[in-house]
Structures are given as structure tokens and as C-alpha cells.
Amino acid sequence: MAILNLSTDVQKFLSEPKKLFIGGEWVEPSSKSYFPVENPADLSHFAQVSTAVEQDVDAAVGAAKAAFEGEWSHVQPQERSKLMLKLADLIEADRENLAQIISLENGKPYTNAFHGEVTITANIIRYFAGWPSKIEGSTIPVSPRGGQKMLNYTTKEPVGVCALIVPWNFPLSMCAWKLGPALATGCTSVLKPAEQTPLSAIRLAELFAKAGFPKGVFNVLTGFGDRAGAPLAAHKDVDKIAFTGSTQVGRLIAQAAVGNMKKVSLELGGKSPNIIMPDADIIKAAKGSADGIFYNQGQVCTAASRLYVHESVLDQTLEELAKHAASHIVGPGLDPETTMGPLVSQAQHKIVTGYVDKALNEGAELICGGKVPSGLGDGYFMEPTVFLDKQEQACISKEEIFGPVLTVMSWHDVEELVFRANDSPFGLAAGVWTQNLQQAHTVAARLKAGSVWINCWNVVDPASPFGGYKQSGWGREMGKNVIDAYTETKSVFIDLSE
């Protein structure tokens, strides 16, 4: 296998222990302790990163608060836009380096990191750069009881200091989903990237520093969930938390927010139902469904992990799915031939292989994959895997796996199908493959999910809201909806009576 050579910029970037980004400066962690970043393709330790603890959280939140109350509050909307556009340009100009860093720390194929994350990140920042001059209040025709002439208007003000806590599956674009609206609304933030993938966030901070924002508008604390994430989530000077990650930690975040009644938005797990109708274009549906589960090694909150296929087209669909699974080239993300990289960590690999063993014990039928591929060394690789669990009895048809493991089930009655699709604690995404317009709209309306994809999957756009029903989260990110999550609305009354 031919591994892509790292650029000289990336080599230089990785050669020194990475510090914390606080108040516009690179500072040593108060613990003086650093932790290694592991390459999941070969288990090598290729960088050292600061371990932030509570004292660093205090310093970063203090810097963010000072910037919020100080210099940043005087920056006009148009100027915020300009700075954000500059940041987007810097991200784009650094795209090869960023994509190499993402591929190294996360494992995903370089081209997916390049197009699926870096390009998208620049576009997200650009989308939000359009917002600062468009965040408007309204004038409201009120009817005061005393009959006075009264002017009432609203303003939208930035909520304050935001804690951005993000996971490892899309290490860079998850930062942008949160940093974009924070900057657009005039908030300041402290980012805590995942411990598995801290380097792309550090690189982002370097670009941020170059863009010319005032100091303290954006701060980055690398470290672990318990020692850095938890004190950040509980901090009394943090006004809002935006979190993406497990439902389990989402609950802890919500509890931590209660102390000072922080605003909270949560993007959590999923077990998304994907439905193939008997009239669907099966070739297209099977390809879309395979991509929907195997993209990013299946480590996607919206992974198309529960596939409901009409019994009349089950055999053909399984055949097509097996073909797509077999067509994947599993290998290191920096090998240009690779289409599926390793899972992110040993912990994730254990979860996924554990589910495969459990499914076999519970009687699910293995259609393809299911093994750790041989000949790839010690990396956390896993074959793209398809199980058939017609009657939906194995736990792989209910629980989030977060790996390249698809569970296929069959159905014959639409009423029963809709019930089964909605019978989940999650409600993040759902999909329908059909050529029947009436069916498409009717079923889409009945699915309890924040995103419904008809004849497509994983279409996400910065202009369109994203988020989950039920235990998949609180609130929506992206689009105009997210602006409310980062602002407070003030209602002003002025008595105009003489």
C-alpha cells in the first residue's frame, strides 16, 4: 500500500507538543501534562496534546467572558462577517493539511476528510458569515390595558459564553456547526474537542488566530470528558452549551447545565430507519442504503442502520447490498485506494465487534462481512457487515452500534412498518425509497425524525435545520433555527403617551 506523504506543514505541525489556545495565546496546560494522539490505522502515537483541567477551564472561560463583554461586543455585524469570510478562506487554503490531520487522527479516507469535512467546514463558516447583519427583531402591535400608546420591539442579543463540546466522528465540521452560529450571533466560545481527535481543532485555532479576530473570542481546550468537559459544562460563567455526542453524556450535560440554567442544545445518538418500498428503484436504493450505513465507517449519528425492505424485493436488495459491501477497500485513510478506514479507537472497535458477536449469538443471519480483516496489522479495521434480522429480535436492530454494521429487516404492511420504524427511543433521521410521490409524502409525515430523506441519505446543508426528536437531542442546529439557540430575545416597551 502506498501511503500519502505528509506535507511539510503537517510534519512541522505534529513535531511539537500542542498547547492550549486561551485568550489568543498558546499556553501550557496548568497540569504540565500532555497525552498522545493515536493513529487508528497503525496504533502509532504521532502527536502530543495538552491535558486541560479545571484551572485551564477557568482561564479559558475567563478569556471568553472578557472578550464577550469587551472588544468583541464593539465589532459591527459587517465586520464579524468579514472576519468569518477570512476564516473560511484560510480553512480552504489549508485544506490539504487539514484533511491529512483529520485522516491521521480519525482514520477516515483522506478524500472524505477533504471533501466531506474541510470543504464543508469552509462552506458552513461562509453560510454563517451571511447572518450577522440579518439577525433582526420585530415591532409588535401590543394592546396595553390602560389604552396608552405603546411601542414594543424586540432585539436579539448574543447569549454570551458558549461551551462547544464535540465528538471525534467529524472532528472539524462539528466544530464549525457550533462555532459558525456562535460567531455570527456575537457570542464567544470555548471548544472542547474529543480526546481522540484534538488536532484538527488545534489547527482550526491556528487559522482563527491568523484571521484577525479579537483575543478570547474562540478558545480551545484539549483534554478528557471528565476533567475538562465536565467542569466546562458546569461552569457558572458559561451561558450556553452546544454538545454533540452520546446520549449518555448528553444527559450529564443537561444535568450540569441546571446549576446556572444554561441554554442547552444537544445532538445525540440515532438508530435511523431506512425504508425500501416495493416500487423503489432497487439498484439506486441499495446503493444509497449501503452508502448511508458505510460512510465514515458507520460512525455517523444519522447512519442508516435499520433497513426495512419490503418482502417482495428482499432477496434482490440483499444481493445488491452484499455487492456494495464487497466493493469497499478497507485500509489506512492515507492510502489513496482506501474507501473505508479503521474505526476511531480500540474502545469503538470493541463495541462494534461486541455487537457482531452478540448478533450471531442471538440468531441474526450474517449476509456478509462480520470479521476483522486480515493483513492490515493492528489497526482498528472492520469489514463492512450486513445482517438479516427479519423479525427484529436481535439487539443490533434496536441499539446504536456506531460502526459499519447494517441490520436488514423485512416488512409487508405499511401500518405495521410505520409503527416499527417509530418504535425507537431515537428520532434523528429516517428515509424512504420509492417512486410513488403520494407514498413518499405520507410516510415522511408519519416518521418521527428530525431529518427525512426521500431517495437519498445524509443530505445535510448549512441552510437547513438538523436535529433530533425524542432521545436524539434538544433543539436544532444550522439554518435560521440555530440563531435562536445562540441568542436571547429582549422585548422593550416604551410608553409614548403624553
Catalytic positions are 267, 301
The single residue among 192, 271, 310, 420 that binds ligand NAI, judged by CB under 6 A, is 192
- Our finding on whether 269 is near ligand NAI (CB under 6 A) is yes
User: Of 244 and 434, which has the nearer Cβ to ligand NAI?
Assistant: 244
The single residue among 3, 322, 351, 460 that binds ligand NAI, judged by CB under 6 A, is 351
User: Of 38 and 335, which has the nearer Cβ to ligand NAI?
Assistant: 38
Distance between CA atoms of 449 and 261, rounded to whole angstroms? 27
Helix (H) or strand (E) segment spanning residue 452: strand 451-454
- Our finding on whether 301 is near ligand NAI (CB under 6 A) is yes
Q: Which residues contact 371 (CB under 8 A, 6 or more apart)?
A: 383
Distance between CA atoms of 8 and 452, rounded to whole angstroms? 43
- Our finding on whether 167 is near ligand NAI (CB under 6 A) is yes
Residue 496: how many other CB atoms lie within 10 Å: 9
Backbone angles phi, psi at 310, to 5 degrees: -60, 135
The single residue among 53, 221, 233, 282 that binds ligand NAI, judged by CB under 6 A, is 233
DSSP state string for 386-434: EEE-TT--SGGGTS---SSEEEEEEE--HHHHHHHHH-SSEESEEEEE-
Backbone angles phi, psi at 470, to 5 degrees: 45, -135
The least CB distance from residue 150 to ligand NAI, in Å, is 45
What are the beta bridge partners of residue 497? Answer: none
User: Of 354 and 363, which has the nearer Cβ to ligand NAI?
Assistant: 354
- Our finding on whether 246 is near ligand NAI (CB under 6 A) is yes
User: Of 169 and 338, which has the nearer Cβ to ligand NAI?
Assistant: 169
The least CB distance from residue 183 to ligand NAI, in Å, is 20
Amino acid identity of 453? W
- Our finding on whether 169 is near ligand NAI (CB under 6 A) is yes
- Tracing cell 489513496 back to the chain, one arrives at 336
The single residue among 63, 118, 125, 230 that binds ligand NAI, judged by CB under 6 A, is 230
The least CB distance from residue 7 to ligand NAI, in Å, is 27
User: Of 222 and 439, which has the nearer Cβ to ligand NAI?
Assistant: 222
Q: What is the contact mask toward ligand NAI in residues 39 to 68, using x (rule: CB under 6 A)?
A: ------------------------------
Distance between CA atoms of 427 and 272, rounded to whole angstroms? 7
Q: Which three cell numbers stand for residue 458?
A: 445524509
CA-CA-CA-CA dihedral for 335, 340, 344, 348, to nearest 10? -150
**Residues in the site for ligand NAI, rule: CB under 6 A?**
165-167, 169, 192, 194-195, 224-226, 229-230, 233, 244-246, 249, 252-253, 267-269, 301, 348, 351, 400, 402
